[in-house]
Chains A and B, each alone.
Chain A
């Protein structure tokens, strides 16, 4: 009886009893969710345009952040100014992400065109390992601090007093959310309005048809991987500001996977809504169920189990259409 109460009633009593704390929890969940959504978006873009399930997306986040911090540390003694160094490191990192996109296309994707999905998937795990080894080899394996201030990201906090309580929003989190929104909107505009964006969507709809009307596969792939790289860099900066920069960050990369299960591998809106939903739910579950009942740290698996259960009832995901099988 008491267990039932603890599982079914008590958490809601807590939520109602301390609404300001509940809001705080929701906010934290929202911020993580936005970042999950961003990583998932990178996955979706690459999957849509090339049918490649890019496992390396999460590692690209770490790699981008690591490159930025590493370059900055390297540059500061030369230019003598934190901000100037950041201003130089940023475009250089973008350059690295472009070089990465190019080499991935040249070295990995091009020779593997036409291979079964699982082989390409494995190749991206190979890329993941290479990036981990390479990143640590060049920049060292120790934990680093994101150059938040040098990049001009605000670090203060905003306080509210809802319901006579107390709510604290860190400015860098607010920055993260705003940046994510800007990024997503510009991405949507790019996909829907520009010629390149149309080409990417065409590839997503019908590969062969798109090729036959003269869309260049390699150009698109480099472009898409570069966009994924830019998204990775943005995610890396804001996540790094929250949690430091090291390959331990790769756990957030795994979080994007249940988002994809939930939202579908090809749905942009699915990635966004799924990401936010998972961010919110796992936080709420951890605080109100995980910590009091299961000894905490449920965030490692909650998203996966949740997505799994949803998929059992809706195999097509939240946003997919019902699949009719044909023979």
Chain B
């Protein structure tokens, strides 16, 4: 980060220069007769933090679900890393390089922090049943090699002290952090964060913001972020897309979006 705030033009220019990682074209999704997403197009560029905002029920989470294959849109084309598709099996998202966290913490409650993060590496572990049963030779080597990676992430997010704690017993803020750790363990190219700071106090929010920036900065991970705290969104994100009633109403750098009258009507004006 530079000391001087860059001007609007500079920010826009920087965004322009980046390569497109994910491109959504005219995506529509409906459940029965209910339209969740109507004809939305936008893109996410490599290395940026892209915020998706909008009032409750605007279709933000559905948008993430479409991106990682959990929902299958009826129309539209999704291009990720040059590969076109409309839908895919959700468990394939990870091997493509898309990981995510959830609005309501979706950790494996009965498992320890360590196991939760290790589970994030499930797709990368290959040793067969036989070696696993012996826990020896290749199986043990593989386990340790991944443990090392996981420990790096644990250090990165400063959660060493809760390594062995069952996550069900952790306070909410830490659970959110473990969830981020699990997503990072998948070594994603694109990280989808669904309200990573919901229900947090100011201090926890600051911590989480710092981690998000660090991930983006040090690991070079592209991030798509849903968040309700406008301060956080405006500070963190490079570009913002605004949804309302399943439609896109604005798209651009934070300063632009902030001054867009439609956005103020739909969202900022109402809830703040």
Contacts and interface: CB of A to CB of B under 8 A. Distances in A.
* A–B contact via C-beta, under 8 angstroms: yes
Contact of A324 (B31, B61, B104): B31
Nearest to B62: A326
B65 to A, nearest CB: 7
Interface string B56-69: 00000100010000
B70 interface: yes
Interface residues of B, number: 10
A326 B62 CA distance: 9
B31 A327 contact: no
Contacts of B65: 327
Nearest to A324: B31
Contacts of B112: none
Nearest to A326: B61
B202 interface: no
Interface residues of A, number: 5
Interface in A297-327: 322, 324-327
Contacts of A324: 31
* Most chain B beta-carbon contacts within 10 A, residue among A324, A325, A327: A327
B103 interface: yes
Nearest to A322: B32
Contacts of B32: 322
Interface string B146-168: 00000000000000000000000
A206 B55 CA distance: 26
Interface string B95-125: 0000000111010000000000000000000
Contacts of A325: 70
B39 to A, nearest CB: 21
A325 B61 CA distance: 12
Nearest to B106: A327
Interface string B188-206: 0000001000000000000
Nearest to B102: A327
Nearest to B36: A324
A326 B102 CA distance: 10
Contacts of B31: 324
A324 B34 CA distance: 12
Interface string B24-52: 00000001100000000000000000000
Contacts of A326: 61
Interface string A113-130: 000000000000000000
A326 B61 CA distance: 9
A63 B11 CA distance: 78
A135 B70 CA distance: 51
Interface string A164-202: 000000000000000000000000000000000000000
Nearest to B32: A322
12 contacts: A322-B32, A324-B31, A325-B70, A326-B61, A327-B61, A327-B65, A327-B70, A327-B102, A327-B103, A327-B104, A327-B106, A327-B194
Interface of A: 322, 324-327
Closest 9 pairs (CB-CB, A-B): A327-B102, A324-B31, A327-B106, A327-B70, A327-B65, A327-B103, A327-B61, A322-B32, A327-B104
Given A325-B70, A327-B104, A327-B194, 9 more contacts: A322-B32, A324-B31, A326-B61, A327-B61, A327-B65, A327-B70, A327-B102, A327-B103, A327-B106
